[in-house]
Amino acid sequence: MARRGVIWTVVIALAASVTACGVLRDAPPTVTPIYITATPVPVIVPIVATETPSPSPVLAATSAALLPTRGPERTATPTLPQVITPTPSFTPTTTDTPVTPGPVYYPPVGGVAVAGSGGIVVGVPGGGATGCATVPGGTIGAIYQSDPSIAAAIGCPLSGAPISVASAYQPFQNGLMIWIAAPGQSLIYALYGNGTYQRFNDTFVEGVDPSSGGAVAPPGLLEPVRGFGKVWRENPSARDTLGWALTGESGGTAEFLSFERGEMVRVPQAGQTYILITGAPGTWSARAG
C-alpha cells in the first residue's frame, strides 16, 4: 500500500507538471484565410452617335395684305456742276529766242559773199590792225586779219607763222572729221553740223587697233576706219551726231596755227580754212581758201 501511494503521488505530480506547462504557453494565433478574387473587367459598350433629323421647316405663305406696298418711283435730280470762273493767266512777254549756232562759212578774202552749205554767210569787213604782238602770214593770216570778230573770238596767235602738218579729211552726213599731226600729238576734230565741235586725241595704233568695226553702212554711205573709225565707234555722241561717212578719207598737208583761244587749220583737200574757237562747247566756222 505504501508503494502504491508513492506511485500515485508521482503520477499526480507529473500530471500537475504537464498541466502547468500547458498553462504557461501562449495559445497559437488563429489564422484567418484571405480569399483573392479577380476583379471583373467592365464591359465598354461603344456609344454610336445618331443624328436625329430635325423636322424640315415649312414655309408658311404670307398674306399679300401683310406685304409692304411699293411707293412711287423717285427720280434723281441732277446736280449742276459748279461754274468755275477762269483766272486770267499770265501772258509772257516776247523774248528773244536763242538760236542754235550753225557753222559759219566765210567767203574768200576780197571775194563776193556766197551761201555756204547749211551755214551763215558773213560779209567781209575791212581789215585792220589786231593789236597782237605778232600777225600770222599766208592764207591763215589773211583770213585772220580780214574780220576783227575772228581776232576778238580766237585771240592772238601763239607764233608768227603757221606750220605744215600731215592731215586727213572726211565728210559725214552731218559734219566732218579732220586729222592733223600736231606738234607732239595727233589730234582728231569732229565738226558737227550745228556749229559745235569736239577735239579728241588720236589713240589709234597700227597693228593693235582694228581698222574697222565691221558696221554695215546703208547703201551709198561708209563706215569710217582707222583713227576716225576708232573715235566714231568709241564715242556714241559723236557717231550719232555725225552719222555715216559720205566718202573715204582725203589725205594731204594742212596748215596749222594755235591761238590764245583756239586753232586755225587750213585743209587744202577740203578747200576750207577752219576757225576753231575753244569753249564749252567749242564752236567752229569755215572760210573758203
Instruction: Find, among 122, 120, 104, 102, the residue nearest to 112 by Cα.
Output: 122
Instruction: Find, among 245, 238, 192, 193, the residue nearest to 215 by Cα.
Output: 245
Sequence-ordered alpha helix ranges (H) in 92-224: 138-146, 148-154
Interatomic CA distance for residues 26 and 102, integer angstroms: 149
Average pLDDT over residues 51-73: 54
191-231: pLDDT as tens digits = 999 999 999 999 999 999 999 999 999 999 999 999 999 99
171-198: pLDDT as tens digits = 999 999 999 998 888 999 999 999 999 9
Asked if pLDDT for residue 153 goes beyond 60, the answer is yes
Asked if pLDDT for residue 2 goes beyond 60, the answer is no
Q: Which percentage of the chain shows pLDDT scores above 70?
A: 55
> Cis bond leading into 183, ω under 30°?
no
Residue 166, CA atoms < 13 Å, CB-side half-sphere = 6
Domain boundaries, the chain: 104-127+134-288
Asked if pLDDT for residue 283 goes beyond 80, the answer is yes
User: CB of 283 within 8 A of CB of 101?
Assistant: yes
User: CB of 186 within 8 A of CB of 202?
Assistant: yes
Sequence-ordered alpha helix ranges (H) in 114-224: 138-146, 148-154
Asked if pLDDT for residue 151 goes beyond 80, the answer is yes
Asked if pLDDT for residue 103 goes beyond 70, the answer is no
Lowest pLDDT segment from 151-155, 159-163, 250-254? 159-163
Length of the chain: 289
Buried b (16+ CB within 10 A) or exposed e, 244-274: bbeeebeeeebbbbbbeebbbbbbbebebbb
Which cell is 276 given? 576753231
Asked if pLDDT for residue 18 goes beyond 60, the answer is no
Residues facing 252 on adjacent strands: 167
